A and B are shown apart, each in its own frame.
Chain A
Amino acid sequence: MRLAKTRHNISKFAERTQCPTLDSVSAIWARGLVKHFDEVRAVDGIDLDIAPGTIFGFLGQNGSGKTTTIRMLTTLLRPTAGSARVDGLDILDDARAVRRRIGVALQEAGLDDIQTGRELLTLQARLFGMGGNARRQRVDELLAVVDLEDAADRAIGTYSGGMKRRLDLAAALVHRPGIIFLDEPTTGLDPVSREAIWRYVNRLSVEDGITVFLTTQYLEEADRLAHDLAIIDEGRIIARGSPAEMKASIGTDVVTVEVPVADGLGRAAEVAAGVAGVERVQIADGAAVVYVPDGARAVARIVLALDDAGIEVGDVGISRPSLDDVFLEATGHHLRVEEPAAAEGGAA
């Protein structure tokens, strides 16, 4: 209550003095964030400005630097260079205070097989200084939110992969943080468990106004959940904006022409590039990807031109630009998704 009042007063003061208001302060802010592991430039100069209350998606394939970024922002890893603030607090100078305000679910659900779900959440709450009834209530409430009431008193070792992720999410929320970091929360999960996580994350943002920093290698997840998005590749951010803005930035439709004969691909790209209206052509995965406004009309011209040039054409598709096209445009290759080799956890 008092905090809300203080915020209100500061906002009024800011209006009078024409200062930036509290609301314009980023929940997560970074400048020139770098982490090198010997020769590997895991994160290579990242800037972030994430508005409070948004779901921020950090999209990139395996090894692009997502986890390393999260580990730096959550005070687990010291940056090689650069600076960052979380909820206005410096990650190096105020590390302990930062930890108090954030909730984190790391990529490998960091759990302990021997404790029960309830014990794990209780210990977590205790370590955040929560006591007595408030703690018990909060633990019960969270077990209900993530649908783990029935399994609460079983050893975590008996949980399925999906249940572990849900428990991990609950553990990140115990102390009601204003900002949560979720590192690939759905990787390796079946579609039903994935939907469940998406529902919880959305609710956190909509109902509780929590800022969510979420990494993913799934285009669909980024598209469905994120208000704002950055694409990371080889430690650098190569595109940013809302999913809609990003797709719009392509400015054209996307015509994908498969060319069955591999050595015809280069020529096909050349020929397609010469067709009226075509803005750009890229080669990826055995197909020529043609960026052209009004794809529905252009597709006939493109196929005719290829046919005239004696190039055999396979499947042809027209689509509105997707995040995959944004990724392709920025990196020159499709986003490769790598599922973990073995499913984790025990029986469902």
Chain B
Amino acid sequence: MQPLATVYFLTVRSLREAVRNPAQEVGNIFVPLFFFAVTVGSIGSIAADAFGIDNFTGFQVPVAILSAASSISASAGLGTITDIQRGYFDKLLLTPAPRSAIVLGRIAADGVRAVIITGVIVVVGLIFRTGFDTGVFGVIVLLAGSFFFGTAYSGFNAAVALRTGSPQAAAAGGLLLFPLIFLSTAFAPKEVFADWLQVLATINPITYILEAQRSLIIEGWNALDLLRGAAAIVGFGIASFTLTFLALRWRTS
């Protein structure tokens, strides 16, 4: 069995699962949109004066995207654990399919779901007049970024799921992103932060992912921002996939 074919078949299976469990998907998108609306509604009107951000709605879209993508990946960690507990994971391991491809199938499905949810959020943003400075091609770049961020984050959840087999641990793993979001430039530009928070925001990779996404929406093409964002996603992905494969090796030996 070819690794790519395996990944594809298992991606399809995971997506089918998502389609048959629509309530969960609705929750995944509703919560970030709720926070998006509340943030924009509460401080949107003072953002221009306070931080010099005119398009605060557009400024907030990436935050909604990242939190939606992360809640998606948390549910995939739970899916892996359900498979392990039901014994279905063993059944997959008993096929000649490469074991890493079995895990990557679920991870890739999360990437696809992140792309879909990003599309929904972009559309909601457009309805609220965020505009999209880099146009259609910029949307494609944003969606591609979401795919890679979704898989990178999902890899981290898969690692927790494989290593612990515990639903509680997987749920906790899904929350990792929230402190990282709050310690980034999610709600205001770095310039207005206290010194200690500026330092944390500068070393926080989420900051660079957000800035890259923002540049696409409210600023126009900015190669440096995009490169930094891509580097942050790649770094995050290398770390999370390393953990995933270590966890898989641990579970299957």
Residues of A participating in the B interface, judged by any CB pair closer than 8 Å: 74-76, 78, 96-97, 99-100, 102, 104, 106-115, 119, 123-124, 126-129, 155, 171
Contacts and interface: CB of A to CB of B under 8 A. Distances in A.
Which of A74, A78, A110, A171 has most chain B Cβ within 10 Å?
A110
B179 to A, nearest CB: 32
B97 A127 contact: yes
Contact of B96 (A78, A100, A112, A119): A100
- Interface-centre pick from B9, B88, B91, B97 (highest chain A CB count, 10 A): B91
29 contacts: A74-B94, A75-B94, A76-B90, A76-B93, A78-B253, A99-B94, A104-B91, A106-B90, A107-B87, A108-B87, A110-B88, A110-B89, A111-B86, A111-B87, A112-B86, A114-B16, A114-B20, A115-B13, A123-B9, A124-B91, A124-B95, A126-B9, A127-B9, A127-B96, A127-B97, A128-B1, A128-B95, A129-B96, A171-B91
A26 B96 CA distance: 22
B95 A127 contact: yes
Contacts of A74: 94
B57 interface: no
B66 to A, nearest CB: 27
Contact of A76 (B21, B88, B94, B96): B94
B171 interface: no
B6 interface: yes
A99 B87 contact: no
Interface in B77-101: 83, 86-97
B54 interface: no
A123 B13 contact: yes
Contacts of B90: 76, 106, 110
A86 to B, nearest CB: 12
Given A109-B87, A111-B88, A112-B86, 19 more contacts: A78-B253, A96-B96, A99-B96, A106-B91, A110-B87, A110-B88, A111-B86, A111-B87, A111-B91, A114-B20, A114-B21, A115-B13, A115-B16, A119-B13, A123-B9, A123-B13, A126-B5, A128-B1, A129-B1
Contacts of A107: 87
B232 to A, nearest CB: 34
Nearest to A100: B96
Contacts of A76: 90, 93-94, 252
Given A123-B9, A126-B9, A127-B6, A110 B96 contact: no
Nearest to A97: B96
Nearest to A126: B9
A80 B21 CA distance: 42
Interface residues of B, number: 25
Contacts of B5: 126
Contacts of A110: 86-91
Interface of B: 1, 5-6, 9-10, 13, 16-17, 20-21, 83, 86-97, 252-253
A24 to B, nearest CB: 27
A79 B97 CA distance: 22
Given A123-B9, A126-B9, A127-B6, A114 B95 contact: no
Nearest to B95: A127
B99 to A, nearest CB: 10
Nearest to B21: A114
Contacts of A96: 96
A22 B199 CA distance: 71
A115 B14 CA distance: 10
Nearest to A174: B95
A111 B13 CA distance: 13
B16 A127 contact: no
Contacts of B253: 78
B1 A127 contact: yes
B181 to A, nearest CB: 31
Instruction: Name, among A76, A96, A127, A171, the residue most crowded by chain B CB atoms within 10 Å (CB to CB).
Output: A127
Question: Which interface residue of A106, A115, A123 has the most chain B CB atoms within 10 A?
Answer: A123
Contacts of B10: 123
A114 B91 contact: no
Contacts of A99: 94-96
Nearest to A181: B94
A215 B97 CA distance: 26
Nearest to A128: B95
Contacts of B6: 127
The 7 lowest CB-CB distance pairs between A and B, nearest first, are A110-B87, A127-B95, A110-B91, A108-B87, A127-B97, A112-B88, A100-B96
A104 B94 contact: yes
Contacts of A114: 16-17, 20-21
A61 to B, nearest CB: 21
A261 to B, nearest CB: 48
B2 to A, nearest CB: 8
A97 B96 CA distance: 7
A128 B86 contact: no
Contacts of A109: 87
